[in-house]
Amino acid sequence: MIFRGTFEHALDAKHRLTVPSKFRAALAGGVVLAASPETTAAAPRSIAIWTPDAYESYTAAALTGLSPISPEARDLKRFFFNYSHDTELDSAHRVMIPPSLMEYAGLDREVVVVGSGECLEVFDRPKYAGYSDDVLIRVPDIAAKLGHTA
């Protein structure tokens, strides 16, 4: 499934997020909550919501070709696996975001859930607003650097 769209949500007192209804079926078989690497120094941190198979493919692709004993590979493996958690949707279609991931992404009660292709990402709402405005301005430059015209 391709995850797309932007949804404003609020976490409850126990840090539970209600998953947007259109994605519940895709996540019914399990969920991986994971720290999402920043794309730039100005980008806010986020939490990614993956299906287990998609997260496995993502991490395998990132680690392919690296020597498993190189410091870089070990650091990446630690990032991917120390900052991820297997969970499931509860009966109310929610996932609880663990305290370590809440802290990593600087999440407060008000969040934005965005489709990012192969996963969903959860951002602190005020931080995402500024980032989103900046990205919209930069899209033509980003596309040009990649050899495309916007």
CA 98 to chain CA mean position, Å? 14
CB of 46 closer than 8 Å to CB of 36? yes
> What pLDDT sits at residue 18?
97
> In whole numbers, what is the pLDDT of the chain averaged over residues?
94
> What pLDDT sits at residue 139?
85
Helix (H) or strand (E) run with residue 110 in it? strand 110-115
Fold of domain 6-145: Chemotaxis protein chec (3.40.1550)
Of the candidates 39, 63, 14, which has an alpha carbon nearest to the alpha carbon of residue 48?
Answer: 39
> What pLDDT sits at residue 149?
63
pLDDT bucket at 102, cuts 50 / 70 / 90? very high
Q: Where are the domains of the chain?
A: 6-145
Of the candidates 139, 138, 121, 133, which has an alpha carbon nearest to the alpha carbon of residue 7?
Answer: 121
pLDDT bucket at 73, cuts 50 / 70 / 90? very high
